[in-house]
Structure 1
Amino acid sequence: MTNTDKPTFLTLHVASGWRQRLPQQIVSFLPLTLFFQIGVMYTGIILFLLSWLISGQWQLKWQRLRHSPLFLPVVCLSTLSVVISLIHPHSEHEFTSAFLHYQSYWILLPMLTIGNGAWQRMAIRNFFIGAVIAASFFYLNSFGLLPDGRFFRGYTVYEGGKSILFALLLAIAPAWMLHEWRVFRDWHFVRAFTFIFVLSALFLFARSRTASLLFLILFLVLTGVWASASQRFRRWYFTSLVFILLIFSMSLIYVVQMPTPVSCHPKEMLDKYGMSGAQILKSRSICTVHQVRDFMKDGQVSEDGMRLEIYRNTWSMVKLSPWIGHGIGNWLPMYRVKAEGMMSEQMITPHNDYLLYWFELGIGGVLCLLTIWLTQLKVGLSMLKHGFKVHAVALLMLTVAMMFSASLNAIMRDGVYTFAMLILLAIPLASLNLELSWREKNKTND
């Protein structure tokens, strides 16, 4: 080999730099994959993990991971799941998948080791592009222009989990858009159009009560952050909040007295009665209020309101073993026995992460889950305090979205929800390394 054939320091450095940047580049495109079939997202995650393995810099990665506030809570949850799995018998068909669900946060941890950078802006931009594409699919479907193929299922047909995920993402995206608009104050026409375009798709076509309510909650969180920075705006905010609560209470009283809609099932509303997305959302909202009213009065539930029955049955089983739970993967077989002959007998999830964790892992499971989410809130508030406004507020809103959604859907039990939320979490949490460096530098200067 001649001297010209030998690898030089420059070529080795370029090759090494390419490998180190690859995980960031792949993660920046993952938010776009959330709006398509689940296999696209899983493929992206696998590509990221492979690129992460070949990117090197293991000492730096370990240092970033070790200093992450989420590392210890995630380890505690995994340790608890191992201990509980040793205490209780295993379900023949459910244990393995259920056990892996409790390890989901380990997918996030490698993403926290790749560092902050321009990829975060690209990731947010791709998330917004994905939201616009998803909204376009809903609009096209409303005009009968979207093909009824497998690629578009979830937009053309209400598919439960996947359709709910699309709706949740369409609730988070406009909240993030509004925040970025206020921070950067540029491209006003483009930002206004995309915000209205995506938000309208959520309320008119997504047909999700949870997602519609989620956006309103995120809007209150966002305006609450704005209010905290201004004494004048703070008074206006709390006055408006009281007014909103008053209007909401009066609306509930009015809805309780309204006649029951012709149907409470979204598929029947669409296929049999030809309702629009907005009409379906309105009817399902009325149905929800009526279902809660009837359940509190005499315990009656309808097919669309089975969650109330699931919550009641699951809670009654939780009380039988509140400290150490009933074991990982045991909710489904035990619930089938408990709900035999009831309307909710065939349900495969309790639609509530808090109840599921308490049922299977005991009180420690709920505390571990809350510790992780409260840590995310603490990190977000710390970043906000130290001037990392863009990603701090995004993290706060996303954490609130997870905590709220977990009360109505098992987002940590279903990989469709879990990995989508973890991918979005990686974007603001990557700035944590920058904040830690900033704080360390200030300590040194002091």
Structure 2
Amino acid sequence: MTDRMNLFNSNETKAQFILSLLPITLFFPIGIGYTGIVLFLVALLLGGHYGDRWQAIKDSPMFLPVMGLLVVTCGAGLFLDRPVGFWKAFMHYQIYLFLLVFISVGAGRWQQRALNVFFAGAVLAATLFYLSRLQLLPNWTLFQNYIDYAGNKSILLGILLGIAGGWMLNEICAKRDHKLLRIVAFLYIAAALLFLAKTRTGSLIFVFGCALVVLRYMTFSWRSVLLLIGTVAVIGVAWQTASGFRERLVGTAHDIKAFVDGGKVSADGIRLEMYRLTSEIIEEHPIVGSGIGTWAVKYPEKAKGLESESMATPHNDYLLYTAEIGVIGVAALLWIWLTQLIVAVRIGGENGVRLFTIGVAIMFGGLVNAILRDALFGIAFMVLLAIPLAGINRHAYRKHDNHYGDMS
């Protein structure tokens, strides 16, 4: 670990402190989160050490992949079509620059605090879902997404609970202290997600995250057997009793079959129609794409008269990237995402599990939602990615993990 990192750890900066509190803002209206980010940026600018922060960014294993996507998008902006709304669309492609800014603060005690704050936010969110179900939650704007399903923000709440559930199971498996309390918190969040939060994405991320954690800690011991049985039991009970969770998954399977057979899909299956028409756009310029921001122009022409005509994105980042910046662009995106997984495997430990599970969550989320195209999702993931990634030096993965891997 460099002296630069030791400097950050010996005396926590205001930027680190503010960053450690950002996870709880993700569970409330987006304006609260943006206010926190502005405060973080102001503290970062006033804190100085610009050379050290720039070096921390360059030392990160995420630097080269993120710069690769920046180069590809700049090239697309220079040589491909630039429709009305180009600059807004262009900025969405640079969401990972926020991650580089976040990790510029270096490693430190703030990471463990941020993790605790995220868990506290998840427990609070679960409580708000319970209160809403009991009709005890005030009808305030602050709580509106817990009372009524409201699109992407409601989906994000489910995704956050799904990630928190996987990370909490990781804590249960890795730590001996306060195990009963951790188990109760895990079940409390899982029940709110599977029974009350109206999102297939969050539920599936929870299942995938738990499965990854179980596989990571699985050994030939009675504790591993109990862990496996317990996790399967939670998912099994949810399948039998959480009718909304079960119906959404079964409905998705039926929509896929109907779409393949040429039949009519439900309103929830409209994504399949969008995927088909977006694939037609991709066929026009598969290698370099049609240009940043062109999907919003081309898609309404192809979907004229259909229910999906007014959609802002294809709800699939892989297809969106391929349509606008081609195979080259989606390769740059996969470079970023696969780097996250490779780094997670190399650093190992609790931190590696956290990074791997959120990496898988992003890659899966990109299949069914505009995870990066929508800043609501993108910023949230960048904040959470900063927790395991800050302070990691691409030249010394293992050395870093030995010192900070468990953020203890």
TM-score by length of 2: 0.89
Structural mapping, 1:78-117, within 5 Å: 78-92=70-84, 94-117=85-108
SS in 2 for 1:298: coil
1:28 — aligned with what? Answer: 20
Among 298, 317, 337, the alignment partner of 2:262 is: 298
Q: Which residue identity does 2:366 align to in structure 1?
A: A
2:117 — aligned with what? Answer: 126
Q: Which runs of 5+ in 1 are unaligned?
A: 1-15, 252-276
1:54 aligns with 2:14: no
Q: Which residue identity does 1:153 align to in structure 2?
A: Q
2:134 — aligned with what? Answer: 143
1:352–1:410 contact (8 Å) kept in structure 2:
yes
- Identity across the alignment (%): 41
1:39 aligns with 2:31: yes
Q: Which residue identity does 2:359 align to in structure 1?
A: T
1:116–1:433 contact (8 Å) kept in structure 2:
no
Among 344, 355, 362, the alignment partner of 1:395 is: 355
Q: Which residue identity does 1:64 align to in structure 2?
A: A
1:77 — aligned with what? Answer: 69
Deviation at 1:117, TM superposition (A): 1.4
1:316 — aligned with what? Answer: 280
CA distance in 2, matches of 1:80, 1:434: 22
Q: Which residue identity does 1:398 align to in structure 2?
A: I
Deviation at 1:430, TM superposition (A): 1.4
TM-score by length of 1: 0.81
1:116–1:434 contact (8 Å) kept in structure 2:
no
Structure showing greater radius of gyration is: 1
2:56–2:391 contact (8 Å) kept in structure 1:
no
**C-alpha deviations, 1:391-413, integer Å up to 9, x for none?**
11100101000001110001000
Give the root-mean-square deviation of aligned CA atoms: 2.8
**C-alpha deviations, 1:140-169, integer Å up to 9, x for none?**
010111122211121111111000000000
SS in 2 for 1:322: coil
Among 302, 305, 312, the alignment partner of 1:338 is: 302
Q: Which residue identity does 1:43 align to in structure 2?
A: T
1:326–1:359 contact (8 Å) kept in structure 2:
yes
1:154–1:162 contact (8 Å) kept in structure 2:
yes
1:177 aligns with 2:190: no
CA distance in 1, matches of 2:308, 2:390: 41
1:328 — aligned with what? Answer: 292
CA distance in 1, matches of 2:168, 2:137: 26
1:27–1:48 contact (8 Å) kept in structure 2:
yes
CA distance in 2, matches of 1:318, 1:434: 35
SS in 1 for 2:308: coil
**C-alpha deviations, 1:20-64, integer Å up to 9, x for none?**
611110010000110000011111111111111121122222221
1:63 aligns with 2:55: yes
Structure 1: which 4+ aligned runs deviate by more than 3 Å? 16-20, 230-233, 437-440
1:160 aligns with 2:175: no
Higher relative contact order (CA 8 A, sep 6+): 2
SS in 2 for 1:158: coil
CA distance in 2, matches of 1:374, 1:177: 24
2:387 — aligned with what? Answer: 427
Q: 1:434 to 1:105 in 2, by over 3 A?
A: closer
1:324–1:364 contact (8 Å) kept in structure 2:
yes
CA distance in 2, matches of 1:34, 1:22: 20
2:287–2:328 contact (8 Å) kept in structure 1:
yes
Among 397, 408, 412, the alignment partner of 2:368 is: 408
Deviation at 1:283, TM superposition (A): 2.5
**C-alpha deviations, 1:59-110, integer Å up to 9, x for none?**
2222211111111111111111111112222221x21211000111111112
